[in-house]
Structure 1
Amino acid sequence: MEKIAFLGLGHMGAPMARQLLGSGHPLTVWNRTAAKAEPLVAGGARLAASPAEAVRDADVVVTMLAGPAALDAVADAIVPELRPGVRWVEMSTVGPDAVKELAARLKDGVTLVDAPVMGSTDRAAAGQLGILAGGETAAVEHVLARFGTVTRTGPLGSGAALKLVVNAAVLGGVALVAEALVLANALGLDEDTARTALAGGPIGGAVGRAFAEGVHFETALAAKDMDLATSVARLPAMEAVSAHFRRAAADPATAHADIAQAVARIRNF
């Protein structure tokens, strides 16, 4: 059986790695905070002491990290250890430039696929994420299918690019809901009535996400994603949204909370 290494056991990575425990593949995991791996180890995974150790014998490497800086640091450790024939599935939200830079660092014979995900922690735990997969995906689709439904997006980097588009739209919608409720308050409207009307309109999905419970999309990571998106093109409305999330990420009370907690911060700006 192929040996799989999974690096990055945060709010998304841990439930995703758990989907691999029942696959029959030997699973090695690594996380900067080793304690987060304990439930997976109890379920049969092996804990590696370092990223290099995790990938040394792996056939498939999966990374789910916080952002470009974390990916770069892990790449420094594991690129020298990757053998020809290894497939690396990069699932973090890092943007297409980071994916292309990573590809340029790899040795001949190592295949890179970018496959960021759509969905939050609840869908990760259920194995129902949407996978946006760019590059030569055929050799890893059996692994990707453990996480959810795979959409092939095109050449390497296209999955990472589409993820920025999706996240910018989601975060823009959430911020717009927050400001719409500021307007409702200024007009003297009952908030529950205004919220119900918004939920029944075209922006209903963003209303649901703005007040969701039991899911986790860290506000600091949302700010990172908006910065990535607004660095690619001139997006005046999205730049305002990005500023909202940066302010929320700078507040210790909301930085590591779900983006639903940032809604109150945006409304009080």
Structure 2
Amino acid sequence: MQKIAFLGLGHMGAPMARRLLAAGYPLTVWNRSPARAEPLVAEGAVLAGSPAAAVRDADVVLTMLAGPDALTDVADAVVPELRPGTAWVEMSTVGPDAVRELAARLKDGVVLVDAPVMGSTDRAADGTLGILAGGDTAAVEQVLAHLGTLTRTGPLGSGAALKLVVNTAVIGGVGIVAEALRLAGALGLDGDTARTALASSPLGGAVGRAFAEGVHFATDLAVKDLRIAVDATQLPVTEVVLTHFRQAAEDPALSRADIAQAVTRIRKGL
């Protein structure tokens, strides 16, 4: 079986790596905080001391990192170590520009696929993520099948672009729901009644995400995604939503909490 290196063991990366380990792949892992790798090591993964060490013998490299800056740091260490024939699957939410910049740094013969995912920690754990893949996926489709359902989005960078579109809509919808409930409060309506009515409206999916439990999409990562989006083009509504979540992320108690926790703050107008 292909030897896999998995870099980035956060809330999403750890359950994804665990699925590959359970499928029998030889797995080497790395995380900036090594303690997060301990459960996987106990299950049979090999812990590398650096990103470079993790990828030296890998046939497939998967990265699930916090954002473009983290990707750049990892690439600085990893790019010189990659052998021709290695496939790198970049699964973070970093936007298409970061993917193209990474592609320009790779040696001939190294295959890059951008494959960010739709779904949260629950779907990462049970292997039902939606995988938006740009580029030539032939070398990695068997690996990715253990993580979810693959949708080919087009050329390299298109997966990252589509993921940014989806996240912007989802986060924006959550922000709109929070403001609508603030309006309900200002008009003297019962909050539960307003929430039930919104859940039955076309915004029902956003209502569900605004009050979701048992999933995790950190507020500071939502801020990162919206910032990439508004840098790409003029998005006046998204700019307002970004302000809401940026203010929430300034609270240390909310910064790494799921975006549902920011809804209460937005509803109160804090």
Q: Shorter-chain TM-score: what band?
A: over 0.9
1:174, 1:24 → 2: CA distance? Answer: 38
Cα shift readout 1:89-148 (whole Å, capped 9, x = no counterpart): 000000000000000000000000000000000110111100000000111011111110
Question: Which residue number in structure 1 is paired with residue 255 of structure 2?
Answer: 255
* Structure 1 unaligned spans of 5+: none
Query: What is the distance in 1 between the residues matched to 2:210 and 2:82?
Result: 41
TM-score under structure 1 length normalisation: 0.99
**1:37 paired to 2:45:** no
- Partner in structure 2 of residue 217 of structure 1: 217
Per the alignment, residue 156 of structure 1 pairs with 156
Q: How far apart are the structure 2 equivalents of 1:25 and 1:262?
A: 38
Can you list the C-alpha shifts for 1:159-179, whole angstroms capped at 9, x where unaligned?
000000000000000000000
Question: Residue 22 of structure 1: CA displacement?
Answer: 2.0
Number of equivalences = 269
> Separation in 1 of the partners of 2:31 and 2:245?
26
Q: Percent identity?
A: 77
Secondary structure, aligned partner of 1:183: helix
Letter in 1 for 2:84: P
How far 1:239 sits from its partner (Å)? 0.6
Q: Which amino acid aligns with 1:44?
A: G
Which residue of structure 2 aligns with residue 88 of structure 1?
A: 88
Q: Distance in 2 between matches of 1:160 and 1:149?
A: 16
Give the 3-state SS of the residue equivalent to 1:112 in structure 2.
strand
- Describe how 1:183-202 pairs up with structure 2 within 5 A: 183-202=183-202
1:23 to partner: Cα distance = 2.0
Q: CA deviation at 1:249?
A: 1.0
CA–CA distance in structure 2, aligned partners of residues 119 and 193 of structure 1: 28
Residue in 2 aligned with 1:55? 55
**Offset at residue 265 of structure 1 (A):** 1.5
Q: Which residue of 2 aligns with 1:106?
A: 106
Structure 2 distance, partners of 1:109, 1:62, is 17
Q: How many Å separate the matches in 1 of 2:123 and 2:72?
A: 27
Long gaps (5+) in structure 2? none
Q: Distance in 2 between matches of 1:123 and 1:84?
A: 33
Amino acid at match of 2:35: A
- AA of the residue aligned to 1:261: Q
Residue aligning to 1:231 = 231
Q: Do structure 1's residue 243 and structure 2's residue 243 form an aligned pair?
A: yes
The 3-state SS of whatever aligns with 1:150 is: strand
Tell me the alpha carbon deviations over residues 211-258 of structure 1, each in whole angstroms, 9 at most, x when there is no partner: 111110000000000001111110100110111111111111210100
CA distances 1:46-100 after superposition (whole Å, capped 9, x unpaired):
0001000000000000000000000000000000000000000000000000000
